[in-house]
Structure 1
Amino acid sequence: MEAFKLVQWGAPGQYVDVPKPQPGPGEVLIRMKAAGLCHTDLDMVDSQPGSEPFANSFDAGYILGHENAGYVAELGSSVTDLVVGEAVVHCEAFRRGAICMTRGCGLDGGLAEFLVVPRTEAISIVDGDPVVYAPLTDAAVTAYHAIQNVVQRLKPGTSAALIGIGGLGTYGVQFIKLMTAARVFAVDNAEGRLKVARDVGADETVRFEDDGKRASEQIMSLTKSRGVDAIVDFVGTAETLKLAAAVSRPRGRVVLLGMQGGTLGVSWGLLATSCEFAISLGSTRQDLREVCALVKQGKLRVDVQEFSFDNVQKAYDQLRAGSLVGRAVVVSP
């Protein structure tokens, strides 16, 4: 079968012919329909041999694609609660706090005709459209898990700031609006993404300029110098982390998702009194079930830009350039 593989670190992926996988006991063979693309893929492609966090953890030579959805093609022995032809998404719970091998990240992923996964990692969406559900398996569910870190703080009269309104941040805005009555500030450096934030419910949009200084001043002015109760940073540069610290109110909470390698100095006077800081990585299968339920109920907007399997590199190029409209999803016939 044809697959799109990361053959070596620091080089673009390549189309290769590989054997069709076969399901073992307790496994499911998925005929791939949709695979979402992610900035993490670009981070892996750009990794130099031996570099952190990927190339020092596992070897290149695996099929990319970690946002996967399709149809059951074959069941391994002992799998009796799915049927051939049923639509499923793949969910592999990430180990928090460290990079580990997952499908599409060290292990063969879904940019191929078929994918084998353990039954425990296949979640039925019955007759749902895999193209819509594929981005939920990482972008949406990772944002959902992070928002769960702050929802208890967001009572009526409180506010939250989301920094970075890309594939994850757009979902983050929606989850906070669905689950809380908080006032939402969306922060980004691109007007197009701020427009999307307004479209999905953000109450205030703030342009990230001058390394965040102007955004900090604007948020503090709009909150009458009170600051915000919760900040979720989907970027993770030194500048965005500095902004997060600057706008937090006392006893606030900052949650970091972005993996851009920024650092934040923590000391008296650098962070609001009793402000908490957390790093959120990955999600759980229950998170994914709940996110899928929101889509089925029509409560979550999912924007995708479809690409054919022979245009995977084009999709990655547009992802790198920031010119996508919605989440890039590679769709198989």
Structure 2
Amino acid sequence: MAVMRAVRLHFPTHTLTVDEVARPEPGRDQVLVRVAAAGVCLSDVHLIDGTLTPLNRASDTVILGHEVSGTVAELGPGVSGWQPGDRVVLQAVEKRDGATWTRGVNYDGGWAEYALARVEALCRVPESIALDQAAIIPDAVSTPWGAITTTGRVRPAEAVGVWGVGGLGAHAVQLLRAVGAYPVVAVDPVPAARERALAFGADLALDPADPELPALIAALTGRAGLAVAFDFAGVPAVREQALEVLAPRGRLVLVGLTDQPLTVIAGTRFTFLQQQILGHYASDETAVPQLLGLASGGRLDFSRSISDVLPLERAAEAVERLQKKQGAPIRLLLRP
């Protein structure tokens, strides 16, 4: 029996282990992928600490990792159009019987030497894009892309705010710039994150503790407020602050995950201004191919997004660094 190394989460005990497990074999319409890189996401941290609990899962143990790139290693029966050695990135989300299933959450993911994928989950990676950079496109880039273009419906010249300039928020700033939003305001308590936001294209970067924040946003928007605000932090205080500076008919898009209650303090004002609160999760199947095309065409650059690359055996260290925001990472990668 062929084996491989994999990082597994044991849900009942919330423990993370590096194990030697059976290497999966591709079934009909499946492909075995040799993993080149896999991203470490705040969602992984929440899975490990128990904040996030999957509604459906195949077992009490799962190989983490929903941001995965690599090369085709083996084809299952019925697979055509692909060859061993093809460079690929895997869609993070798929539909099963009407339900949303996420790789590395509901079923085994890519913190391993090999990952199994349905053929429809494969996206071809152009030679111009490094596999390290391609790995983070599902979720770290595709989730804010979906939040901006689909849920938030951002239009050119709309004033937009981004709360939380971490792995998703940093890319949101870059993507908002690409779609023509103006001005783009970034809000984060970490000075390094605010500096990064400006480097990625934000017009203004603010500390949420700054008492002048509402006045500064009002001045920048001609007192109109923000047409759209994105919460990538998953913090109740962020949502309250964002609502304070939201324009009439403005949209607050919730992307960051939290198990805390959602509260609208100024309920009458919220109703009178006809504002909206919209939940967002992941992206549809068109996002990753779109982003690969934009990156290969030079419209987007993810070369600054990889903060560090670690071996599988240091997965726990990577999780801790992300959890504690050591070095304000955008994305940490694991490489088998």
TM-score normalised according to structure 2 size: 0.89
Alpha carbons of 1:272 and 1:110: their partners in 2 closer, same or farther (altered >3 Å)? farther
Which of 319, 330, 334 is the aligned partner of 1:326?
330
> Partners in 2 of 1:251 and 1:102 — Cα distance?
33
- Answer whether contact 2:54 2:105 (CA < 8 A) is retained: no
Deviates more, 1:276-285 or 1:162-171: 276-285
Matched residue SS, 1:285: coil
Amino acid at match of 1:219: I
Matched residue SS, 1:283: coil
Which of 29, 32, 35 is the aligned partner of 2:32?
29
Aligned partner of 1:87 in structure 2 is 87
Aligned partner of 1:12 in structure 2 is 15
Alpha carbons of 1:310 and 1:92: their partners in 2 closer, same or farther (altered >3 Å)? closer
Aligned partner of 1:264 in structure 2 is 263
**How far did residue 55 of structure 1 move?**
5.7
> Partners in 2 of 1:222 and 1:186 — Cα distance?
13
* CA offsets 1:140-189 (integer angstroms, 9 cap, x no match): 00010001147755333x31111111100111111111111421001111
Matched residue SS, 2:38: strand
- Answer whether contact 1:94 1:282 (CA < 8 A) is retained: no
The aligned length equals 323
- Answer whether contact 1:9 1:55 (CA < 8 A) is retained: no
* CA offsets 1:264-287 (integer angstroms, 9 cap, x no match): 227212466122221111111211
Aligned partner of 1:143 in structure 2 is 144
Amino acid at match of 2:65: G
**How far did residue 35 of structure 1 move?**
0.4
Alpha carbons of 1:326 and 1:277: their partners in 2 closer, same or farther (altered >3 Å)? closer
Alpha carbons of 1:331 and 1:292: their partners in 2 closer, same or farther (altered >3 Å)? same
Structure 2 unaligned regions, length at least 5: none
Aligned partner of 1:239 in structure 2 is 237
> Partners in 2 of 1:126 and 1:167 — Cα distance?
23
Aligned partner of 1:180 in structure 2 is 180
> Partners in 1 of 2:150 and 2:187 — Cα distance?
19
Matched residue SS, 1:107: coil
- Answer whether contact 1:70 1:89 (CA < 8 A) is retained: yes
Amino acid at match of 2:116: V
Kindly indicate whether residue 53 of structure 2 is the aligned counterpart of residue 54 of structure 1.
yes
Aligned partner of 1:229 in structure 2 is 227
Could you tell me the percent identity over the aligned residues?
26
> Partners in 1 of 2:152 and 2:131 — Cα distance?
29
Deviates more, 1:270-279 or 1:13-22: 270-279
> Partners in 2 of 1:153 and 1:220 — Cα distance?
19
> Partners in 1 of 2:271 and 2:161 — Cα distance?
16
Alignment of 1:1-333 (within 5 A): 1-47=4-50, 53-54=52-53, 57-58=56-57, 59-93=59-93, 100-127=100-127, 128-149=129-150, 152-156=153-157, 158-209=158-209, 214-262=212-260, 263-265=262-264, 267-270=267-270, 273-302=273-302, 303-304=305-306, 305-324=308-327, 325-332=329-336
Amino acid at match of 1:256: L
Alpha carbons of 1:272 and 1:193: their partners in 2 closer, same or farther (altered >3 Å)? farther
Alpha carbons of 1:60 and 1:247: their partners in 2 closer, same or farther (altered >3 Å)? same
**How far did residue 217 of structure 1 move?**
3.7
Question: RMSD in angstroms over aligned alpha carbons?
Answer: 2.2
Matched residue SS, 2:125: strand
TM-score normalised according to structure 1 size: 0.90
Deviates more, 1:33-42 or 1:98-107: 98-107
Amino acid at match of 2:42: H
- Answer whether contact 1:146 1:255 (CA < 8 A) is retained: yes
Amino acid at match of 1:226: A
Alpha carbons of 1:150 and 1:29: their partners in 2 closer, same or farther (altered >3 Å)? closer
**How far did residue 256 of structure 1 move?**
0.9
